[in-house]
Amino acid sequence: MEDFLPARGVRFVRRRAFDWVAEVGRVTLMLRDVVRFLIPGLRSFGRLVQQMNAIGVGSLWLVVVVSLFTGAVAAVQAAYQFTAVVPMRYLGSVILRSVIIELGPVLTALVIGGRVGASIAAELGTMKVTEQIDALRAMAIHPVRYLVVPRVVAAVIMLPIITIFSDAIAIFGGYVVAITSIGVSSHTYTQSLKDFFLMKDLWSGLIKSFFFGGIIGTMGCFHGFATEGGAEGVGLATTHAVVASCVLVLISDYVLANVLFRFIFAA
Amino acid sequence: MIRIRGLRKHLGTRQVLDGVDLDIAAGETVVVMGRSGTGKSVLLKHIIGLMKPDAGSIEVEGQEIVGMGERELDAVRRRFGMLFQSAALFDSLTVGENVGVGLREHQRLPEPEVRRRVAERLEWVGLSGVEAMKPGSLSGGMRKRVGLARAIAMDPQYILYDEPTTGLDPIMADAIDGLIRGMQQRLSVTSVVVTHDMTSAYKVADRMAMLHDGKIVFTGTPDEVRATTHPMVRQFVAGSSTGPIRPL
């Protein structure tokens, strides 16, 4: 006899919940190994630099394009909403604060999460299905030490650096639009930036991007290591890594915003 | 000496190993033969601790490795070299870096010494001067030989070979068989070779064991295999689809 539909639904939800808890457990165990092998994993400085180059320098042009247009759109949108309500001399400050607190860190993390998360998951997933991870273990080389530590640390270091770069480009994008199509003078825009710049805003964005880097590196490695099967498995791992990175970046953005602006930078 | 007793492992719903008993004496080359999918590679991965059994015991020189933590297992693994079926070379590294990866990670030798050892091992497998090449540009036979050079780079006491001649032409397969015999003589290693290639098995084996339905159903020297009346072994050696082993 066919199962009663609600009972099947409950079983499905319960199974999904168990799977999710198990996955959180496995990620936690991997992070424990990252901490355990942090120092030995960084002994090979060359591997760290190689990953920093792949994550940071390799993503530069993508970040430039995304940031430039983000700043430009922010200027157009802000100008539209300011019309007849707020003087245009505040345009620079609105772009500045929205970029360094929110848009810069989050959009950079989403872009890098898509590009780097996918690339890490695909590389490690291919290594898993072609027995390269087993070959490392057979040589008594812990895969977390050799593969995960350099990638996670490189992501944690590079995300804040790229975010600073992204912030600058976005503010420049807003500047170009402000003086060419909105009619704000260069002096007004830059003066607005100077008047409303707060160091704690920059710090809050950088602290967030530090955590985002950890999330992207960890998700890429975790889903790469969890790959099963062949090419299809690698494709699935890549998709899971990108989706998990993006979702966790957005959730942690909310949590961090609460912690940073309600407690740490509340005054 | 490796001593395996009552090794059991299920994967999904299938009982892959169902009480494997096997002894591998020091210095001998044991070939584990059997049909594709009978769990030969699974058995090898248990010997080096890459898989954990459901039950049973594996002793390496009297040391029980089942239940060991990763750190203790790593100490055991350093005595092993393994040649994987696909060679499992690291795509992002050059041939020289692949062969030297264990030396650089574990032995902290000066770089000129690492390079000398890498060149020497590559020369032993007949591949001098290929250090700068990438694995992607190597043929199947070359990949296997680089995999073998990597397996012997750390002077192991044991070498595990997973289907060393699968996918190679008969001439290259014979060359690999020669290398396996050569390694045993040169390094006095204990070797376990899993294969379903009977030509290769007869060439390299001191002793042969047949794995079927998760159990070792026969062990003997190559001459004993040739002379046996054991119906499964006879069917397998003859490559016949009729007999106690069902083809499908």
Q: pLDDT tens digits, residue range A23-76?
A: 999 999 999 999 999 999 888 889 999 999 999 988 999 999 999 999 999 999
Domain presence at residue A87? yes
Instruction: Determine what percent of chain A is predicted with pLDDT higher than 70.
Output: 99
Distance CA A16, CA A12 (A): 6
Interface test with A, best of B84, B105, B134, B160 (most A CBs within 10 A): B105
What digits encode the pLDDT tens for the residues B61-95?
999 999 999 889 999 999 999 999 989 999 999 99
Q: What's the mean pLDDT in A227-235?
A: 92
Domain presence at residue B162? yes
What digits encode the pLDDT tens for the residues B132-150?
999 999 998 899 999 999 9
Are B73 and B170 in a shared domain?
yes
Number of domains observed in the structure of chain A: 1
- CA angle in degrees (0–180, nearest 5) for A240-A245-A247: 95
pLDDT classification of A267: cutoffs 50, 70, 90: low
Domain presence at residue B195? yes
Are B215 and B108 in a shared domain?
no
* Structural contact between residues B153 and B121, judged by C-beta atoms closer than 8 angstroms: yes
Handedness of CA B139, B145, B147, B153 (dihedral sign): negative
- Which string of DSSP letters, residue by residue, matches B73-132? HHHHHTTEEEE-TT----TTS-HHHHHHHHIIIII---HHHHHHHHHHHHHHTT-TT-TT
Give pairs for B119-128: CB < 8 Å, separation 24+: B121/B149, B121/B150, B121/B152, B121/B153, B122/B95, B122/B96, B122/B146, B122/B149, B124/B149, B124/B152, B124/B179, B124/B182, B124/B183, B124/B186, B125/B149, B125/B179, B126/B175, B126/B179, B127/B95
* Structural contact between residues B82 and B159, judged by C-beta atoms closer than 8 angstroms: yes
* Structural contact between residues B57 and B6, judged by C-beta atoms closer than 8 angstroms: yes
Which stretches of chain B sit within 8 Å of chain A by CB? 45, 48, 50, 70, 73-75, 77-78, 80, 82, 84-86, 88-92, 101-102, 105-106, 150, 154
Distance CA B197, CA B164 (A): 9
Are B109 and B148 in a shared domain?
yes
CB contact under 8 A, A134 and B154: no
Are B148 and B160 in a shared domain?
no
Structural domain for A169, as ranges:
46-258
- B156 by DSSP, 3-state: which? coil
Distance CA A161, CA A155 (A): 10
Q: How far is CA B122 from CA A132, A140, B88, B127, B187, in A?
A: 20, 21, 16, 5, 15
Domain presence at residue B146? yes
pLDDT classification of A91: cutoffs 50, 70, 90: very high
Cβ-Cβ contacts under 8 Å, A127 against chain B: 90-91
What digits encode the pLDDT tens for the residues B198-245?
999 999 999 999 999 999 999 999 999 999 989 999 998 888 888 888
Cβ neighbours, 10 Å, residue B230: 16
Are B175 and B75 in a shared domain?
yes
Are B135 and B168 in a shared domain?
no
Q: For residue A1, is pLDDT > 80?
A: no
Surface-to-core class of residue B110, CB atoms within 10 Å of its CB (0-12 exposed, 13-18 middle, 19+ buried): exposed
Domain presence at residue B15? no
Number of domains observed in the structure of chain B: 2
Q: For residue A101, is pLDDT > 90?
A: yes
* Structural contact between residues A78 and A181, judged by C-beta atoms closer than 8 angstroms: no
Domain boundary residue, one of B155, B173, B207: B155
B81 to chain A, closest Cα gap in Å: 7
Are B173 and B123 in a shared domain?
no
Q: Is the backbone of residue B28 left (phi > 0), alpha (psi -120 to 50) or beta?
A: beta
Are B137 and B225 in a shared domain?
no
Token readout for B169 is 């032409």
Q: For residue A2, is pLDDT > 70?
A: no
Give pLDDT, residue A131.
93
Q: What's the mean pLDDT in A202-215?
A: 96
Give pLDDT, residue A5.
83
Are B93 and B151 in a shared domain?
yes
Are B104 and B202 in a shared domain?
no
CB contact under 8 A, B101 and A131: no
Structural domain for B222, as ranges:
26-52+69-79+156-247
* Structural contact between residues B56 and B20, judged by C-beta atoms closer than 8 angstroms: yes
Interface test with A, best of B71, B80, B82 (most A CBs within 10 A): B82
Q: CB-CB: which of B86, B102, B154 is closest to A131?
A: B86
Q: How far is CA A255 from CA A105, A114, A164, B226, in A?
A: 14, 21, 21, 71
* Structural contact between residues B211 and B39, judged by C-beta atoms closer than 8 angstroms: yes
A231 to chain B, closest Cα gap in Å: 16
Per DSSP bridges, beta strands B2-11 and B14-24 are: antiparallel
Token readout for B39 is 């769990």
Domain boundary residue, one of B155, B176, B195: B155
Distance CA B178, CA B200 (A): 10
Write the CATH number for B188.
3.40.50.300
Given strand B207-212, what is the order of strands in its sheet? B80-83, B158-162, B190-195, B29-33, B207-212, B215-220
Are B176 and B228 in a shared domain?
yes
- CA B15, chain centre distance (Å): 22
- CA A1, chain centre distance (Å): 48
What digits encode the pLDDT tens for the residues B108-132?
889 999 999 999 999 998 889 899 9
pLDDT classification of B248: cutoffs 50, 70, 90: low
Domain presence at residue A156? yes
pLDDT classification of B185: cutoffs 50, 70, 90: confident
Distance CA B76, CA B16 (A): 24
Domain boundary residue, one of B101, B133, B155: B155
CB contact under 8 A, B70 and A142: yes
Instruction: Determine what percent of chain B is predicted with pLDDT higher than 70.
Output: 100
- CA angle in degrees (0–180, nearest 5) for A163-A166-A167: 85
Domain presence at residue B160? yes
Surface-to-core class of residue A14, CB atoms within 10 Å of its CB (0-12 exposed, 13-18 middle, 19+ buried): exposed
Cβ-Cβ contacts under 8 Å, A146 against chain B: 105
CB contact under 8 A, A127 and B48: no
Distance CA A93, CA A75 (A): 10
CB contact under 8 A, B88 and A135: yes
CB contact under 8 A, B101 and A141: yes
Domain presence at residue A251? yes
Given strand B55-60, what is the order of strands in its sheet? B14-24, B2-11, B55-60, B63-64
- CA angle in degrees (0–180, nearest 5) for B93-B114-A46: 45
Instruction: Determine what percent of chain B is predicted with pLDDT higher than 90.
Output: 72
Domain presence at residue A7? no
Are B39 and B106 in a shared domain?
no
Q: CB-CB: which of B73, B84, B105 is closest to A135?
A: B84
pLDDT classification of A110: cutoffs 50, 70, 90: very high
Domain presence at residue B228? yes
* Structural contact between residues A205 and A130, judged by C-beta atoms closer than 8 angstroms: no
Domain presence at residue B6? no
Cβ-Cβ contacts under 8 Å, A130 against chain B: 86, 88
* Structural contact between residues A224 and A125, judged by C-beta atoms closer than 8 angstroms: yes
All residues at 6 or more sequence positions from B53 whose CB lies less than 8 Å from its CB, including other chains: B7, B8, B9, B17, B46, B66
